[in-house]
């Protein structure tokens, strides 16, 4: 049994001969889910594999004004960024109160 090949470039390798797999076909099953078929580039092997690519979350929102809302959940990192922004805003609002002129 050969050790699995782990590519740092994110390229899949054939489980039988360890040659690079190339995406042959790809089609959408759902707006956020794609089915992919990969073929081994070794002509003597030519094994093929299928799999899925799925978009599962929103990492950062669109910068387009009035962009439609995203139906994907925010990633934990994005939720943390929103919470930090809200906390900063709250702290800034609290600081501004110091400089507000006292009401008569």
- Nearer CB in complex with Zn ion: 44/94: 44
Burial of 67-101, coded b for 16+ CB within 10 Å and e otherwise, reads eeeeeeebeeeeeeeeeeeeeeeeeeeeeeeeeee
- Nearer CB in complex with Zn ion: 49/78: 49
Tell me which residues touch Zn ion (CB under 5 A).
Answer: 14, 16-17, 19, 40, 42, 45, 47
Burial label for 58, CB within 10 Å (0-12, 13-18, 19+), is middle
CB of 45 to Zn ion, least distance (A): 3
| C-beta of residue 26 within 8 angstroms of C-beta of residue 37 | yes
- Nearer CB in complex with Zn ion: 2/9: 2
CB of 14 to Zn ion, least distance (A): 3
CB of 22 to Zn ion, least distance (A): 11
């Amino acid at each position: 049994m050969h050790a699995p090949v782990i590519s740092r470039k994110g390229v899949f390798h054939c489980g039988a001969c360890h040659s690079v797999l190339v995406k042959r076909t790809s089609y959408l099953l759902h707006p956020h889910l794609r089915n992919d078929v990969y073929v081994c580039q070794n002509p003597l092997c030519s094994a093929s594999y299928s799999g899925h690519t799925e978009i599962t979350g929103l990492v950062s929102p669109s910068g387009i004004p009035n962009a439609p809302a995203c139906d994907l959940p925010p990633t934990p990192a994005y939720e943390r960024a929103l919470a930090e922004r809200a906390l900063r805003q709250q702290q800034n609002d609290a600081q501004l109160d110091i400089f507000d002129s006292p009401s008569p």
